Structure 1
Amino acid sequence: MTGATMRAVVVDHPGGPEVLQVRDVPVPRAEPGQVLIRVHAFGLNRSELHFRRGQASSGSFPRIPGIEATGVVESAPGGELVPGTPVVTLMGGMGRSFDGGYAQYVLVPAAQAIPFTSDLPWEVLGAVPEMLQTAHGTLAVGVRPSAGDVLLVRGGTSSIGLTLAVLGGLRGLTVLSTTRSPARAALLESVGVDHVLVDDGHVAVQVRELHPHGVDGAVELVGVDVMRDTLRSVRSGGTVCFTGMLSDHWTIPEFYPMDWLPNGVRLTAYSGEAADLPAPVLQEFLDAVADGRARVPAGRVYRLDQIAQAHADMEAGSVGGKGVVLL
């Protein structure tokens, strides 16, 4: 493919959605130890908003953004994967320290390409990698619940929140999820949420009406501006995992642990990499979706030339699940 070009989204400098420019750029060439992937779809993530705005703690410009992609192996000179193999890839510096998934091809380290088999459509597969890695890791590493536990998801209508509800159902958890809009209760119920809580800023009171001693675990996806209330929703010996910050509030100016943390409640955090999504976990989830035991909480599907609108919709919170760009 020497001299070939591809369509890609390039960001020259931080700014609003208008800085996302679709251009023709050279197709990267794989060396041994790398895999070139023909991208069929990629998911949209709030961390890409932070990068585009210049709020990220890492990354450089100009850059093709995108922390994940789904497609097929185009070439793997080191022989790690056979061309034509379906794969997902995510994280590891994608879209920040090297060019990411907002393109027709993406070049990644071979260890960062995770193979799978599935007949699901690309717009469904494209929604899965980062969403599943984050939700799976949050449960397996952060909260570590047991079957029968009660889990609170603060920020339940986000793509991660919806996936946590799906995984919670598969793992025998009772799931409570929050939304600020009563109109979105049906969305939460459609992915198996057992109790929908309308977030008025005082979720702990509502949780304790259902579970007087508190829930066994909670996932904070909204931000530190509500986390103090989330901590008060959890029983002594339970765990709160800080995974997301939909409110864009992620630091606490004055953190006094004895004031913030109820007695015996543990606070953890989770952010993972491609290595934190084992191929068997990916395959098990895709199989569960294929046979109807689970669903992918997909939102709107966009074309590559609609990327600026997709980012505007993400900022407005109107995607309605995981946004995906289908190539």
Structure 2
Amino acid sequence: MIQMTMRAVVLSQPGPVSNLQLQSLPIPEPTEGWIRIRVRAAGMNRSELHTRLGLAGDSVQMPRVLGIEAVGTVGLDPSGTFTTETQVATMMGGMGRTFDGGYAEYTCVPVNQVIPFTSELPWEVLGAVPEMLQTSYGTLSVGLDAQPGQSILIRGGTSSIGMTIAVLAKLMNMTVISTTRDKTKGDRLRELGVDHIIIDDGNVAEQVREIYPEGVDAAVELVGTPTLRDTLLATRMHGTVCFTGMLSNQWTVKDFYPIDYLPCGVRLSAYSGESRDLPATVLQRFLDQVAAGSATVPLDRTFELSEVQDAHALMESDKACGKLVLLP
């Protein structure tokens, strides 16, 4: 019997986790230039939390199936670009915002935002990788132009992005300083190879300069604008701070006066990216490194689609240490 419907998590309007409802929807049909993917795993992101809370702006059209990323296998590609059952990843490009995303058994996305790969890693591990790797790789390569052997501060180190940046930085032989507000998460950071762990009490710059008196070469801001000034103060002259994340949900600096706000000679950049910013070669290399044991995917735990409310509650609590993944 041909399957005509699928299970999907639908957000009807912004609000509490109870607004996320598991529903039965028709399996989507790809139009010209689009591809249907059988979703095997979908990483969860704060972007989806922002959407649920109504912080994503007017670009989100509801009701909407959330999920800005997914991994799975090609189900139907009218363009013939990919053969059926090819392993693929996809992310961003409007997923979960302007069109239905990865919180479902199937999703349709533009073919130009599909990245093929080959791996025997479990789907839950693969599901944690795409957006996490794209953001981390882009932050290091584009936002920071990080170089082997440099020192790097990761502000918000126990977030999934922070942990992945640490993994990639150690592969570059960088010295990594990561922050956390929770002392109990220190062991998890040590497992990733983090060299120095700082308990974030709001005054990280002073603690960093006890290790590097001149300041670090590079820093990643993942908490947001409340800690950005302090992160800048932890960075050496001609060092770079990349603003990548907003775990605090605070995105702007009030009354920003650059000469007063920016320490002399410290550079401030930013990074945000799309699927095109994660080359297939980079994705494949990382998956091969994970399979070989030379890299780690910071996966916290997995949830079934029916457990999506629990998953969002955990994400909102900031108690997770690593990536959360939904398994359709």
* Shorter-normalised TM range: over 0.9
Aligned to 1:37: 37
Would you say the 8 A contact 1:143–1:239 is kept in 2? Answer: yes
Aligned to 1:55: 55
Tell me how far 1:243 sits from its aligned partner.
Answer: 0.4
Would you say the 8 A contact 1:67–1:100 is kept in 2? Answer: yes
Tell me how far 1:319 sits from its aligned partner.
Answer: 2.4
Tell me how far 1:31 sits from its aligned partner.
Answer: 2.6
* Mapping for residues 298-309 of structure 1, pairs under 5 Å: 298-309=299-310
CA distance in 1, matches of 2:73, 2:3: 21
Would you say the 8 A contact 2:167–2:192 is kept in 1? Answer: yes
Tell me how far 1:253 sits from its aligned partner.
Answer: 1.3
Q: State the Cα RMSD in Å.
A: 1.1
CA distance in 2, matches of 1:147, 1:39: 36
CA distance in 2, matches of 1:88, 1:191: 24
Q: Aligned letter for 1:26? A: P
CA distance in 2, matches of 1:184, 1:324: 20
Q: Aligned letter for 2:4? A: A
Aligned to 1:249: 250
What SS does structure 1 have at the residue aligned with 2:229?
helix
CA distance in 1, matches of 2:14, 2:150: 43
Aligned to 2:155: 154
Tell me how far 1:131 sits from its aligned partner.
Answer: 0.4
Q: Does 1:269 align with 2:270?
A: yes
What SS does structure 2 have at the residue aligned with 1:196?
strand
Q: Aligned letter for 2:271? A: Y
Q: Does 1:19 align with 2:19?
A: yes
Q: Does 1:177 align with 2:193?
A: no
Would you say the 8 A contact 2:185–2:321 is kept in 1? Answer: no
What SS does structure 2 have at the residue aligned with 1:111?
helix
* Mapping for residues 43-192 of structure 1, pairs under 5 Å: 43-57=43-57, 58-192=59-193
Q: 5+ residue gaps in structure 2?
A: none
Mean CA deviation greater in 27-36 or 308-317: 27-36
CA distance in 2, matches of 1:17, 1:319: 17
Tell me how far 1:95 sits from its aligned partner.
Answer: 0.3
What SS does structure 2 have at the residue aligned with 1:146?
coil
What SS does structure 2 have at the residue aligned with 1:307?
helix
- Taking structure 2 as the reference length, what is the TM-score of the superposition? 0.98
Tell me how far 1:2 sits from its aligned partner.
Answer: 8.2
Aligned to 1:196: 197
Q: Does 1:281 align with 2:282?
A: yes
Tell me how far 1:32 sits from its aligned partner.
Answer: 3.2
Tell me how far 1:81 sits from its aligned partner.
Answer: 0.6
CA distance in 2, matches of 1:305, 1:181: 29
CA distance in 1, matches of 2:47, 2:91: 13
Instruction: Give CA deviations for 1:196-232 in whole Å, capped at 9, x if unaligned.
Output: 0111111000110100111000000001001100000
CA distance in 2, matches of 1:62, 1:256: 40
What SS does structure 1 have at the residue aligned with 2:190?
helix
Q: Aligned letter for 1:6? A: M
Q: Aligned letter for 2:199? A: V
Would you say the 8 A contact 1:3–1:26 is kept in 2? Answer: no
CA distance in 1, matches of 2:288, 2:3: 39
What SS does structure 2 have at the residue aligned with 1:213?
coil
CA distance in 2, matches of 1:166, 1:287: 14
CA distance in 1, matches of 2:117, 2:100: 23
Mean CA deviation greater in 119-128 or 50-59: 50-59
CA distance in 1, matches of 2:176, 2:142: 18
Would you say the 8 A contact 1:152–1:177 is kept in 2? Answer: yes
Tell me how far 1:288 sits from its aligned partner.
Answer: 0.4
Q: Aligned letter for 1:307? A: V
Tell me how far 1:3 sits from its aligned partner.
Answer: 7.6
Q: Aligned letter for 1:192? A: G
Instruction: Give CA deviations for 1:130-168 in whole Å, capped at 9, x if unaligned.
Output: 000000001111011111100000000000000000000
CA distance in 2, matches of 1:128, 1:17: 24
Runs (4 or more) in structure 1 with deviation over 3 Å come to none
Q: 5+ residue gaps in structure 1?
A: none
- Equivalent pairs counted in the alignment come to 327
